[in-house]
Amino acid sequence: LTLNLPNTEANGRIFCRQTNTTSTCKGIRHGSSSYCAHFLFEVAFDEINRNFNILPNITLGFHIYDSCSDGPKAVKSILQILSGPGKTVPNYHCRGRGQIVGFIGDHSSVTTLPMAQILGVYKYTQISYGATHDVLNDRSLYPTFFRTLQSDSTSYSVLLKLLKHFGWTWVGILASNDDSGEKETLVLTKHMTSNGICVAFTIKINLVLLRDTDRVLESYRNIVKESSANIIVICGTFSPYVANFFKETEDIFADRTLILNPTFAVNNFLLEFYPKTFNGSLALEHFPIEMPDMMTFFESFHPLDHPDDCFLKHIWLLHFRCDVGDQRWNILKDIYKISLHNCTGKERLKDFTNFAPDGLSPRVYSAVHAMIEGLQQIHLFLNRKKNVKSIPLFNYKKQHSDNLCENSKMTTRKTTMEKKKENKSVYPAEKRMSVFFLTPSKDTQEHKSENEVNTSNTNMDPSMAQESSLVPETTKDNLQDQLKLLLEAQFNMLKQDMLKSLEDIKQDTNRIAISVQALEKKLVSFDNQLGTVKETVQSLINKTSTLEQKIAALEDRSRQFNLRL
């Protein structure tokens, strides 16, 4: 059931999650979105490497690490990639061939934040396809971070309009007991109370297993039962323990309406394993990204075409019970307790009932093409410059300029034909994606959220809605124009930095010259003083000689006097 609410066309969609409680879940359950993201990531690189118009004579490679939704593991993976094989050592790498130009990921804000902190120090570009935390909007803290989706602020605005549309003014909040959950709870509570919506209760769900889990779950159960709130908003970070919470308390949510934020809405594992809990719930999803020939790709994907893909073999073995022809995989028969058979070769990924790219998987594809398009623009720029060999491509990692992000609006558009006239090689138009630049001040953002959220013009044009209060901190513009402007600004900044460095060197040289001159003067003065000392010593020597002569004369006179006596 699609709900056409005011000003939501350009930002996402709200749908009613309806499930059949008597049916069984088929296909890939947990991890299906991870498989999709992995496949689309590889497909994007394969397309780019096959296209001779994109980065000619340059072959792109990649590393894939699973963060397992764990911050420390994500940090370890980042340091491992930066350091190369072997022991991880900060500020040192032993990679040999290939240079790292950027990072794609991560899926969650919990792991993306520590990644962005490290990569911001080393000025590596990072494009996330799933992190929505508002703190990542701060360009001073995360200057090289980009994302292919909007932040949580947009979801809050849509959620408020949804609640006001149905007149729901008594609402409960379920949040994860971490930084993301705390942040979202505070922001939601603030916006709800300012719009006449009362918070009935707030429950913080722990992300780790506690010794007294049963007692904690019972206390949560009592809070929900005793409350008269029929609308419950779920926000924060998803984890297996959050899923376990809904499993243990599904009986108390049967007659209540749950509203899931985008983080939970895209989690098929949660929604399909607990249909009784989430039957009839509402979910907020980010606006869809169209990926060219996506379904054609999934229809044609087969292990015979990718014999080295272990993920694909795993899927065929686990869900089609296919014998992959490798004895090393027989151990999985005992693990999964299944029997294998020879398949027909007609099996396809699309045969899985829930193996379809979710709202985030296409954004992986989008993020890869966005980053490669930036590299393409750098490559074209360097080819137009002199002494290109003295400017290594991989040194240009910072792709951000604060002055370009003001007002979140990029101008200077050019048609594809004009760009073809200017550049011999132009990034394909169908691959151009959107990256969001998040810059307005907190005061401006809060002012817009509080004063424009009451808009009820249902006839607003979608193009106007894109610039409405639902997205006060974002802009979606032509990526090629944006990256071109960003790269030009980047090299201008580099030029300014070089000029400043040269000026500093000149000043240091002048200071050294002055010091040398002063030292020379001191040496001359020392020489003069040394000459004076020498003259004084010579004078003393002369006086001593005179005295010795007088003493000798006195001694002669003394001897003569003695003889006379």
Task: For residue 251, say if its preceding peptide bond is cis, omega within 30 degrees of 0.
Answer: no
Say whether pLDDT at 502 is over 80: yes
Residue carrying structure tokens 């994606």: 433
Read off the pLDDT band of 273 (50, 70, 90): confident
In the structure encoding, which two tokens stand for residue 246, read together? 């809904």
Q: Are 258 and 405 contained in the same domain? A: no
Helix (H) or strand (E) holding 16: strand 12-17
Average pLDDT, integer, range 418-432: 38
Segment 536-545 shows an average pLDDT of: 89
Residues 320 and 275 in one domain: no
Strand partners, 472: none
In a domain, 241, yes or no: yes
Residue 487 has a pLDDT of 67
Average pLDDT score over residue span 178-200: 86
3-state secondary structure of 312: helix
Output helix, strand, coil percentages for the chain, rounded to the nearest 5.
55, 10, 40
Burial of residue 504, with CB atoms counted within 10 A of its CB: 0-12 exposed, 13-18 middle, 19 or more buried: exposed
Query: What's the pLDDT tens digit per position in 76-117?
Result: 888 888 887 777 766 666 666 667 888 998 888 888 899 999
In this prediction, residue 268 has a pLDDT band, given cuts at 50, 70 and 90, of: low
| Residue 492's pLDDT band (cuts 50, 70, 90) | confident
pLDDT at 210: 57
Least confident range of 63-77, 281-295, 531-545 = 281-295
Residues 278, 169: one domain?
Answer: yes
What lies within 8 Å, CB to CB, of 62 at 6+ separation is 41, 45
Instruction: Judge residue 530's burial from the number of C-beta atoms within 10 Å of its C-beta, 0-12 exposed, 13-18 middle, 19 or more buried.
Output: exposed
Would 144 be classed as within a structural domain?
A: yes
pLDDT at 475: 41
- Is residue 547 in some structural domain? no
| Least trusted range by pLDDT, from 317-326, 357-366, 440-449 | 440-449
Is residue 187, in this structure, part of any structural domain at all?
yes
Report the pLDDT value the prediction gives residue 479, as an integer from 0 to 100.
55
**51 and 163 inside one domain:** no
pLDDT of residue 481: 63
pLDDT band at 551 (very low <50, low <70, confident <90, very high): very high
Looking at the fold, whether 409 and 263 belong to one and the same domain comes out as no
Give how far Cα 70 sits from Cα of 46, 149, 235, 524, Å: 29, 21, 18, 69
Model pLDDT, residue 304: 73
The residue with greater pLDDT, 384 or 161, is 161
- 244 shares its domain with 369: no
3-state secondary structure of 231: strand
CATH number for 281: 3.40.50.2300
Q: Rounded CA gap, 406 and 400, in Å?
A: 12
Answer whether residue 354 shows pLDDT above 70.
no
Are residues 126 and 448 in contact, defined by beta-carbon separation less than 8 angstroms?
no
- The whole-number average pLDDT for the span 24-46 is 60
Most confident by average pLDDT, 308-322, 341-355, 540-554: 540-554
Encoding tokens for residue 175?
Answer: 């949040």
Q: What is the mean pLDDT of residues 539-561?
A: 90
Using the 8-state DSSP alphabet, how is residue 126 labeled? E
Angle of CA points 504, 506, 507, to nearest 5°: 65
Is residue 42 located within the same domain as residue 188? no
- Who wins on pLDDT, 170 or 293? 170
Closest CA to 69 of 119, 106, 15: 106
Yes or no: say if 146 and 104 are a contact pair by the CB < 8 Å rule.
no
Q: Decide: 263 and 235 in contact? Cβ < 8 Å.
A: yes
Range scoring the smallest mean pLDDT among 175-179, 251-255, 354-358: 354-358
How confident is the model at residue 472, as a pLDDT?
A: 33
% the chain with pLDDT above 90? 2
Taking residue 69's Cβ as centre, other Cβ atoms within 10 Å add up to: 17
88 in a structural domain = yes
Q: Burial of 170 by CB count in 10 Å (0-12 exposed, 13-18 middle, 19+ buried)?
A: middle
CB 230 within 8 A of CB 257: yes
Higher pLDDT, 402 or 351: 351
* Rg of the Cα atoms in the chain: 36
Q: Does residue 106 have a cis peptide bond before it, meaning omega lies within 30 degrees of 0?
A: yes
Residue 5 pLDDT more than 80?
A: no
Query: Is residue 8, in this structure, part of any structural domain at all?
Result: no
Of 409 and 142, the structure prediction assigns the larger pLDDT to: 142
Quick check: 379 pLDDT over 60? Answer: yes
Considering the domain architecture, whether residues 280 and 333 belong to the same structural domain is answered as no
Same domain, 128 and 226: no
Domain annotation covers residue 189: yes
Average pLDDT of the segment spanning 34-44: 77
Mention every residue, 6+ apart, whose C-beta is less than 8 A from residue 154.
11, 12, 470, 471, 474
Q: Between residues 507 and 445, which one has the greater pLDDT?
A: 507
CA 343 distance to own-chain centroid: 41
> According to the model, what pLDDT value does residue 466 have?
34
Task: Specify the pLDDT at position 424.
Answer: 36
Residue 419: per-residue pLDDT: 39
Tokens for 161, please give them: 């309009």
Average pLDDT, the chain: 71
Three-state SS annotation for 241-298: HHHHHHHHCHHHCCCCEEEECHHHHCCHHHHHHCHHHHCCEEEEEECCCCCCCHHHHH
In the chain, what percentage of residues exceed pLDDT 70? Answer: 66
Give the integer Cα–Cα distance in Å for 21 and 4: 27
- The total number of structural domains in the chain stands at 3
CA distance 338 to 334: 7
Residue 515: domain span: 31-150+356-448+475-529
Q: What is the dihedral of CA 138, 407, 368, 356, to 10 degrees?
A: 90
Give the residue-averaged pLDDT of 263-284: 76
| Residues 198, 143 within the same domain | no
Which whole number is the average pLDDT over 330-357? 69
Lowest mean pLDDT among 39-48, 314-323, 511-520: 314-323
How many other β-carbons are positioned within 10 Å of the β-carbon of residue 197?
Answer: 20
pLDDT of 550 above 80:
yes
80 and 212 share one domain = no
The three-class DSSP label of residue 2 is strand
Lowest mean pLDDT among 1-15, 368-382, 474-488: 1-15
Per-residue pLDDT at 393: 42
Q: How confident is the model at residue 282 (pLDDT cuts 50, 70, 90)?
A: confident
In a domain, 468, yes or no: no
Q: 163 and 211, same structural domain?
A: yes
pLDDT(17) > 60 = no
The yes-or-no verdict on residue 59 having pLDDT over 70 is yes
Confidence tier at 179 by pLDDT (50, 70, 90): confident
Q: Of 460 and 369, which is predicted with more confidence?
A: 369
